């Protein structure tokens, strides 16, 4: 069921001077000096409208730096006053909400470890309800669009309408160069389900290292994401948390300069050409489907023939030879080995099913 969300457009509460909109700041507030030095530099970047800093840090194991706590909120008040930036902190329970609100924090964010738990989201939402404050909702650690959307719906039903989703990747037990697998299909599905909800991308937690960040940012905007939440530290090598993924404000400036913002649509001439190419694709797809159907009919005929002669369905030698031949032919035509293999496997699976149906049917 498609949800109906009541979302206040972001342009009404966070007008952009320059695109894309950026929330930037250190993973953690560590000292007043570090916070102020970072904020002053970030404030010079026109895209940066919001300063982020973790005050209460969720750490995987106890004993690690768990944030400076309440005193850090005063430093953020100084950031507001001296730089004009809005400020945001992560809240993980109603007490955090209360203290952040008491200190006039502009935007609250709910982290990935909290969004997984509907009880926590409800409790936090109830503590915020009645305050007309924007809330940023990171995706849950697990790749589940429903939990993410559920958290957003929960807050929306409590009357909170200034909402932003943040895609920070998913914890995934698989070897990958990313700290948190981007699985772009999930934020894309969220966009489909909630088209009026802005989605920002957090390349820092997706990548886990600086090297992958530029390409991830470009990809985010090529996929029509609406902004960035990125970790920036005045001196990343000295950071107390997430050291490898933080970039300096100067580095952020450089990345934003290199970013190519493509348009969704490109005028009449562009649309006409695109239309012509799309109708060519439509024709080719029609042919493709026709060929696949004809191929399946032949497979079925073979099935009938095998049945009449009491021959098994799976003929591994023939299949291996065929796969080899088709891959070679595909590669010659500029198609990748992986693509051909995937395609053939799918065709083969359907063919086997057809032949099983023939064997099981009452007809001779």
Comparison of 251 and 326: residue with beta carbon closer to ligand PEP? 251
Q: Closest distance between ligand PEP and the C-beta of residue 341, in Å?
A: 35
Q: How far, in Å, CA of 249 to CA of 147, rounded?
A: 33
Comparison of 96 and 205: residue with beta carbon closer to ligand PEP? 205
228 within 8 A of 203, measured Cβ to Cβ? yes
Joined together, the tokens standing for residue 99 give 């203290």
Comparison of 27 and 151: residue with beta carbon closer to Mn ion? 27
Task: Answer with the entry of Mn ion, ligand PEP, none that 197 interacts with (C-beta below 5 to 8 A by kind).
Answer: none
C-alpha 196 chain-centroid distance: 16
Q: How far apart are the first and last CA of the chain?
A: 46
Under rule CB under 6 A, residue 168 binds ligand PEP: yes
Under rule CB under 6 A, residue 111 binds ligand PEP: yes
Q: Closest distance between ligand PEP and the C-beta of residue 205, in Å?
A: 5
Q: Closest distance between ligand PEP and the C-beta of residue 112, in Å?
A: 4
List Cα–Cα distances, 127 to 124, 140, 232, in angstroms: 5, 20, 29
Return the beta strands (E) in 162-240 as ranges.
163-167, 199-201, 227-231
Under rule CB under 6 A, residue 205 binds ligand PEP: yes
For 76-122, give the DSSP string: HHHHHHHH--EEEEE--SHHHHHHHHHTT-SEEEE-HHHHT-HHHHH
Task: Answer with the entry of Mn ion, ligand PEP, none that 96 interacts with (C-beta below 5 to 8 A by kind).
Answer: none
Task: Answer with the entry of ligand PEP, Mn ion, none that 168 interacts with (C-beta below 5 to 8 A by kind).
Answer: ligand PEP
- Distinct helix (H) and strand (E) counts, the chain: 14, 8
Comparison of 41 and 242: residue with beta carbon closer to Mn ion? 242
Binding site for Mn ion (CB under 5 A): 27, 242
Under rule CB under 6 A, residue 203 binds ligand PEP: no
Residues making contact with ligand PEP (CB under 6 A) = 27, 54, 58, 111-113, 138, 168, 205
């Amino acid at each position: 069921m498609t949800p109906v969300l009541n979302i206040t457009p972001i342009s009404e509460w966070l007008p952009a001077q320059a695109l894309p909109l950026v929330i930037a700041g250190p993973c953690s507030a560590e000292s007043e000096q570090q916070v102020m030095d970072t904020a002053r530099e970030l404030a010079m970047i026109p895209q940066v409208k919001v300063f982020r800093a973790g005050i209460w840090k969720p750490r995987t194991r106890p004993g690690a730096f768990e944030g400076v706590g309440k005193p850090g909120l005063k430093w953020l008040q100084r950031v507001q006053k001296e730089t004009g930036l809005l400020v945001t902190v992560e809240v993980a329970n109603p007490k955090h909400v209360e203290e952040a609100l008491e200190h006039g924090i502009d935007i609250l964010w709910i982290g990935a470890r909290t969004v997984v738990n509907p009880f926590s989201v409800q409790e936090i939402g109830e503590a915020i309800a009645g305050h007309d404050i924007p809330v940023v909702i990171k995706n849950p650690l697990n790749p589940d669009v429903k939990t993410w959307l559920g958290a957003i719906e929960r807050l929306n039903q409590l009357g909170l309408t200034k909402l932003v989703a943040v895609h920070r990747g998913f914890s995934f037990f698989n070897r990958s160069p990313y700290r948190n697998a981007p699985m772009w299909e999930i934020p894309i599905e969220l966009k489909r389900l909630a088209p009026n909800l802005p989605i920002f991308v957090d390349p820092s937690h997706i990548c886990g290292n600086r090297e992958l960040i530029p390409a991830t940012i470009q990809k985010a905007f090529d996929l029509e994401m609406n902004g960035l939440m990125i970790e920036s530290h005045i001196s990343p090598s000295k950071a107390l948390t997430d050291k490898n993924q933080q970039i300096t404000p100067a580095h952020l400036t450089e990345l934003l300069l290199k970013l190519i913002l493509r348009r969704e649509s490109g005028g009449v001439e562009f649309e006409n050409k695109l239309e012509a190419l799309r109708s060519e694709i439509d024709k080719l797809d029609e042919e493709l489907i026709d060929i696949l159907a004809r191929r399946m009919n032949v497979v079925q005929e073979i099935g009938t023939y095998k049945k009449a002669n009491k021959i098994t369905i799976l003929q591994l030698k023939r299949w291996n030879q065929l796969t080899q031949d088709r891959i070679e032919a595909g590669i010659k035509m500029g198609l990748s080995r992986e693509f051909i293999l995937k395609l053939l496997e799918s065709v083969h699976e359907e063919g086997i099913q057809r032949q099983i149906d023939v064997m099981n049917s009452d007809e001779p």
